[in-house]
Amino acid sequence: MKQQAVDDRRLLALPALLLGGAGTLMQAIHEGVEQRGFTGVRPAHGFAFVRLAPDGASIAEVAEHLGVTKQAASQLVEELLRRGYVRVEPHPRDARAKLVTLTERGWACTRAADEAALEAVRAWAGELGVDRVEELAADLARVARPGRLRPLW
Amino acid sequence: MKQQAVDDRRLLALPALLLGGAGTLMQAIHEGVEQRGFTGVRPAHGFAFVRLAPDGASIAEVAEHLGVTKQAASQLVEELLRRGYVRVEPHPRDARAKLVTLTERGWACTRAADEAALEAVRAWAGELGVDRVEELAADLARVARPGRLRPLW
DNA sequence: CAGAATCGACAGTTTCCTTGACTATTTTAG
DNA sequence: CTAAAATAGTCAAGGAAACTGTCGATTCTG
């Protein structure tokens, strides 16, 4: 039990660091995307792009992915449509649904986000070394169950 | 340049994992705190507790810590007051200001959050080993400059 | 094929944060 | 030492982004 207490103290630092690191990273990505000329894009949009990227998705699928209601997803998609990041077509297999896919501008924004993220992580690799960063990623991959990629809580 | 491209691919996984891991952790903490009987406590409250914990803080200091306006911080403090997590007294050195400090209930909630976080991280330690988790924390500590601990965006 | 489930939209509401204007106090400059 | 500027906090109004509830249209299920 005493050993347990010691371990606890060693473990207690991680949550704050993880939350802080994620916040820092998100901020860096957000700023990087803006600097590359994609203004008015919120992180929630970026998380939506992840789901839309491969082959598009329905609004309900976007909602499920973000962990919000269909109404919220619908609004978000409409905003992305207005800004030219996505196109919305009738779904080929379901007349009730709409198929939302990225436009070229949407893809460009996605690439910009990747670049911005990479820029931040490259700085870390310079500090820790590429191998250490890769280990970090491997460790996280084992513990971070990729549930919903929610913007927030 | 080619090596650079290879490294990039190896690094590109980290951002999503870090964001996902942080989200998972936040969710776990939030649920753990609720299960321990502290209902209606949002993560933003938890971040405020961090600032209040040592010796209390003024409303403006809470605002600065959270990265929101004084008005928002004022409202948040009032809510914490209603729920019994903090007490508000006149500031001993500045008649304009209020000194906000945690009540015993506030401290209990803080401990509950620590326990919930620990519970999650202990599960990781079981998966990776304590030493590996500690390395993880050490790496993160070197790269994650603890800016504002915002709930954010 | 009839009932249940699902897709998305409309309307109204809530929550949380913002800007702007204001008073009271403290700090700074002349 | 006082007049001006800065700061602490509040009130009021408004907006962004989510929510619930309801609905018509379509698809799935038994």
Q: What is the structure's pLDDT at A103?
A: 98
Least CB–CB distance from A144: residue in B24, B29, B30: B24
Tell me which residue of B148, B78, B23 sits closest to A144, measured CA to CA: B23
User: Quick one: pLDDT band at residue A56, thresholds 50, 70, 90?
Assistant: very high
Contact A6, B118 (CB under 8 A): no
Q: What is the structure's pLDDT at B107?
A: 97
CATH number 1.10.10.10 is the correct assignment for the domain at B23-143: yes
Which nucleotide in the DNA or RNA is closest to residue B73, CA to C1'? C17
Per-residue pLDDT of chain B (153 residues; tens, 9 = 90+): 666 676 778 788 899 889 888 888 898 999 999 999 998 899 999 999 999 999 999 999 999 999 999 999 999 999 999 999 999 999 999 999 999 999 999 999 999 999 999 999 999 888 888 888 888 898 888 887 665 555 444
Q: Do A136 and B140 touch (CB under 8 A)?
A: yes
Q: Considering only alpha carbons, which residue of chain A is nearest residue B30? A: A153
Higher pLDDT pick, A113 / A1 = A113
Dist CA B47 CA B114 (whole Å): 12
* Residues 83-122, chain B, CB closer than 7 Å to nucleic strand C: 94-96
Dist CA A137 CA A78 (whole Å): 34
- Cα angle B124, B130, B132 (rounded to 5 degrees) comes to 85
Is strand D less than 7 A from the beta carbon of B59? Answer: yes
Higher pLDDT pick, A58 / A23 = A58
Give per-residue pLDDT as tens, B102-129: 999 999 999 999 999 999 999 988 888 8
Helix (H) or strand (E) holding B24: helix B13-35
Query: Quick one: average pLDDT of A25-44?
Result: 92
Distance from the Cα of B81 to chain A's closest Cα (Å) equals: 23
Which nucleotide in the DNA or RNA is closest to residue A152, CA to C1'? D18
Contact A21, A14 (CB under 8 A): no
Dist CA A114 CA A139 (whole Å): 21
Query: Quick one: average pLDDT of A13-41?
Result: 90
Fold of A2-143: Arc Repressor Mutant, subunit A (1.10.10)
Question: Among all chains, which residue has been given the structure tokens 């598009």?
Answer: A56
Helix (H) or strand (E) holding A125: helix A104-128
Q: What is the structure's pLDDT at A3?
A: 65
